[in-house]
Each structure stands twice: as structure tokens, then as C-alpha cells.
Structure 1
Amino acid sequence: MPSIPQPLDPDDDGGVAPAVAAALASYQAGTADATEVLNALGGARLLVPVVALLTESGVGAHGLRQEKESEMALPKLVGQDGRQAVLAFTGTQALVRWRPDARPIQATTLQVCRAAVQEQAAAVVVDVAGPVQFVIEGAVLEALAAVESGTVGEIEGATVARIEPVEPARRRRWFSRR
């Protein structure tokens, strides 16, 4: 049975990271491309929703249905073509906009991508209910999952590069523009 991980940041206020908010706003305005959003998401914390599912109920003394057992589940989005996607949110406001009863679990973007690949999902949909929806899928999803799992060398056509620690003032970019 999977366990709920310890929070990445116990003092997290649930807000959207400023770099992520700026990249998504620019993407929506058409002044930034997906690469810039992916670079902002690369080191960002996302919130993965879990929801309670009733697994067993009964009728109480007064004839009312009562919950006996429930489990927490990771909801998936299913497209019209049958493909599944894992949901992730940049902050609690976006999560509540989608489903107010969902509970957030902190994860890095790379962890979310790895989980999606492990769940055989075709995509990660970030902020499905807005304000700006962003989809990570295909080779990009596989590459980010491979970075997290340490299996980048197993992706056909991938070039493996060692990333050395840099000074805190510099940002590392997972993708470059061409």
C-alpha cells in the first residue's frame, strides 16, 4: 500500500511560485512558449490531488446511510480518446477551483511526471480548471520521468549529460530553445 510522503516544505502556503505564474501568464498571452513553462516547472513544487472514495457503507440506527470505510485515491482525467492523464496544480486556488474536497500532496514536477509514467498515463495536466491549463505529454513527459528515475540513458535517441551543482543565483534549464 502506497504511503503519503512527507511534505517537501512544511511551511508551504499553497501559493503559486512566482516564476511559474509568470511563465504561465506569458504562455497564455502568447509571448512565451512551452519551453519557458517547462523551465519554470522544472524545479517547482506542484500539488497532486487525492480524494476520498467510499468503499463500504451501511444503514445506521435511524435508517440513514453511513460511511464505514473509505480510501484515498489519485484521480485521473480520461480524454475522449480514452487516454488518461494525471492531474497536478500549481497552487491551492487552482486545486480548489477544480474540486474543493480534494486534498493536496506536494511533489516536484519530476516526481509527478514519473508517477504519470508509472501509472501508464499519457500526460500530466497542470491546472486543468485554469487559470492557465498546461499539458506535459509524449517524449517530454517520458524524459522528465526518466530524469527523476535516473533512467535517461534508456530513452532511445537521448543524450545524457551530467548536471553539476551551480551557484544558487543561476537557474538550470531542462530544455533549450532551438
Structure 2
Amino acid sequence: MPEPQRRLHDPLKALADDDGSADPSVRQALAASVSAPSTESYLAAVAALCGTRLLTPIVAVGEQGPGGGDTSADMSAVLLSDATGRRAMLVFTGVDSLQRWDARARPVPATLDKVAEAALAQDAVALLVDLEGPHPVVLEQPLLGELARSRRLVALPDGGFGWMQAGGGDPS
């Protein structure tokens, strides 16, 4: 009897047809949180971000050669620091907003929970979403901690919001 075929799960298969465009409903939620700021509009924006693909920018960092090009380069996620040394990680909703920030950056698709986990691993205290617009939003603690635990904020039928545990995470 032949042995059954085994296939590895391809986590990026769902992104095979992704052209890098932002989800219009996510952009609409971000716009509402900026134009009419309230707790509800902010939470609606976070819930929208929890259900979409995001793009983490990766840039080359290395030594400059005589012609200005890199002689050796490593790829790195982008962290910004403020005057006090607090760090924030960048993430974008679409390739248009990423290119507005830096046209040379390479987009790496990820979910918000994975980006939050990476940000905390890099000692970042915030995520800056769409830094150069069209509607920038900041996510900070304790929200980042919840997201990094594979939790997703969801809109409830009664108009409130609650946490849902994404598959495979620690439900505690």
C-alpha cells in the first residue's frame, strides 16, 4: 500500500494573489479614527487591522561603497526612536503607504499579532501604522501585549468590542 502524501501547510498561500493594495474597509476605519477620534472609532480601527494583511518594511542596512552603494548589507525591520529612546516599529496597510515612506523598502506580509510580537521582541513600545498616511494610527501597550499573545480585537453584535484568541496561542 503506498504511503499517503504529506503536504506542509503554506501560510503564505492565502497571499498568492495579493497585489499589495490596502483593504478599503481598513483604510476607512483608520480614516474614521483620525477624523472623528473616539474610543469606539479607535477600537474599530484596531479590530479592522486585526483582520487584514499588513506589510512590514524591510530595508538594507550596511556599509557604503565608494560609489554610494552597499558593499555588504543585512536586511532589517524598521524601528524608530524618539528623543527619550522609546522605540516604535513601522507597519503599513498597503504598498502605496509603504512606498510613500520609503520606495526602497521591501514589503513583508504579516498579521497584526505577529507584527506586535516582533515589535515587543525588539523592545518597541508602539506600532506606527501608515506613518506617512493617509491616516496614521499608533498602537501602544497594553494593546500590543494582547495582540502579541495572538489575541484579536473583534466588534461584537451589541456594538462593543472583545478579545478573541487566534488559533494556536495561549488562551490564558
* Length-normalised TM-score, structure 1: 0.73
Q: How does 1:147-158 map to 2 (within 5 A)?
A: 147=150
Among 24, 36, 40, the alignment partner of 2:30 is: 24
* 1:173 paired to 2:155: yes
- The aligned counterpart of 2:56 is 48
Per the alignment, residue 35 of structure 1 pairs with 43
**Percent of aligned positions that are identical:** 34
Q: Which runs of 5+ in 1 are unaligned?
A: 149-162, 164-170
2:155 maps to a residue whose letter is R
Q: Deviations over 1:85-115 (max 9, x none)?
A: 1100000110011011101000001110111
* Distance in 1 of aligned mates of 2:54 and 2:150: 17
Q: Is the 8 A contact 1:8 1:107 kept in 2?
A: no
SS of residue in 2 equivalent to 1:25:
helix
Asked if 1:14 is matched to 2:20, the reply is yes
List, as ranges, runs of 4+ consecutive aligned residues in structure 1 with deviation greater than 3 Å: 5-8, 64-68, 171-175
- TM-score scaled by length of structure 2: 0.75
Identify the structure with the greater strand proportion: 2
Q: Is the 8 A contact 2:114 2:150 kept in 1?
A: no
Report the CA distance between 1:79 and its aligned residue: 1.4
- Contact 2:22-2:94 at 8 Å conserved across structures: yes
Corresponding position: 1:76 with 2:79: yes
Question: Which letter does structure 1 place at the counterpart of 2:59?
Answer: V
CA contact (8 A) 2:88 2:124 kept: yes
Q: Provide the residue aligned with 1:120 in structure 2.
A: 123
| Contact 1:8-1:106 within 8 A present in 2 as well | no
Distance 1:119 1:8, change over 3 A: farther
* 1:9 Cα deviation from its structure 2 partner: 0.2
2:68 and 2:64 mapped to 1: Cα distance? 10
Q: Which residue of 1 aligns with 2:6?
A: none
